[in-house]
Amino acid sequence: MHSRTELIMKILFWASGIAIILFLVGILFTLLSNSIPALGEIGIGSFFTSGLWRPGAYGEPTYSINNFILGTFMVTVGALAFAVPMGVAAAAYLAEIASPWEREFFKPIVEVLAGIPSVVLGFIGLVVLAPLIARFFNIPSGINALNGAILVGIMALPTIITLAEDAITAVPKEYRHASLALGGTQWQTIWKVTVPAAFSGITAAAMLGMGRAIGETMTVLMVTGNMIARPESFLDSVRTLSANIAIEIGDVAFGSVHFHALFVVGLVLFIITFIVNLLADILIHRKPEVNK
Partner 1 sequence: MQILNSGIRKTDKMENNLNPNFACETNDSGNSYCEVQVEGLNFYYGSKQALFDVNIEVKEKGVAALIGPSGCGKSTFLRVLNRMNDLIPGTRLEGRINVHGEDIYDPSTDVVELRKKVGMVFQQPNPFPKSIYENVAYGPRIHGLKNREKLDQIVEESLKGGALWDEVKDRLHDPALALSGGQQQRLCIARALAVQPRILLMDEPTSAIDPIATQRIEDLVRELCQEYTIIIVTHNMQQAARISDFTGFFLQGEMVEWGETSQIFTKPQDQRTEDYITGRFG
Give the SS3 label for residue 172. Answer: coil
Q: Which of 175, 217, 230, 247 binds partner 1 (CB under 8 A)?
A: 175
Site size with partner 1, rule: CB under 8 A: 21
Q: Which of 3, 183, 251, 253 binds partner 1 (CB under 8 A)?
A: 183
Tell me: does residue 77 bind partner 1 (CB under 8 A): no
Q: Please say which residue, 7 or 97, places its beta carbon nearer to partner 1.
A: 97
Tell me: does residue 288 bind partner 1 (CB under 8 A): yes
Quick one: which segment of 19-27, 38-46, 125-133, 175-183 binds partner 1 (CB under 8 A)? 175-183
Quick one: which segment of 41-49, 102-110, 172-180, 248-256 binds partner 1 (CB under 8 A)? 172-180
Tell me: does residue 177 bind partner 1 (CB under 8 A): yes
User: Phi/psi at 63 (nearest 5 deg)?
Assistant: -130, 30
CB count in 10 Å sphere of residue 136: 10
Name residues whose C-beta falls within 8 Å of residue 56's C-beta, 6 or more positions apart in sequence. Answer: 258
**DSSP per position, 82-150:** HHHHHHHHHHHIIIII--HHHHHHHHHHHHHHHHS-HHHHHHHIIIIIHHHHHHHHT-S---SHHHHHH
Q: Please say which residue, 189 or 219, places its beta carbon nearer to partner 1.
A: 189
To partner 1, the closest distance from the beta carbon of 159 in angstroms equals 25
Tell me: does residue 290 bind partner 1 (CB under 8 A): yes
Q: Please say which residue, 2 or 173, places its beta carbon nearer to partner 1.
A: 173
* Per-residue binder mask for partner 1 (CB under 8 A), 185-214, x = binder: x--x---xx--xx-----------------
Tell me: does residue 102 bind partner 1 (CB under 8 A): no
DSSP annotation of 232 reads -
CA distance 118 to 133: 20
Name residues whose C-beta falls within 8 Å of residue 248's C-beta, 6 or more positions apart in sequence. Answer: 55, 258, 262
Tell me: does residue 169 bind partner 1 (CB under 8 A): no
Q: Which of 2, 181, 232, 254 binds partner 1 (CB under 8 A)?
A: 181
To partner 1, the closest distance from the beta carbon of 279 in angstroms equals 21
Q: Please say which residue, 33 or 185, places its beta carbon nearer to partner 1.
A: 185
CA distance 147 to 162: 24
CA distance 76 to 216: 9
Q: Please say which residue, 141 or 186, places its beta carbon nearer to partner 1.
A: 186
Name residues whose C-beta falls within 8 Å of residue 179's C-beta, 6 or more positions apart in sequence. Answer: 188, 189, 192, 193
CA distance 149 to 223: 10
Q: Which of 147, 179, 242, 244 binds partner 1 (CB under 8 A)?
A: 179
Q: Which of 161, 158, 164 is nearest to 194 (CA)?
A: 164
- Give the footprint of partner 1 on this chain (CB under 8 A): 172, 174-175, 177-185, 188, 192-193, 196-197, 288-290, 292
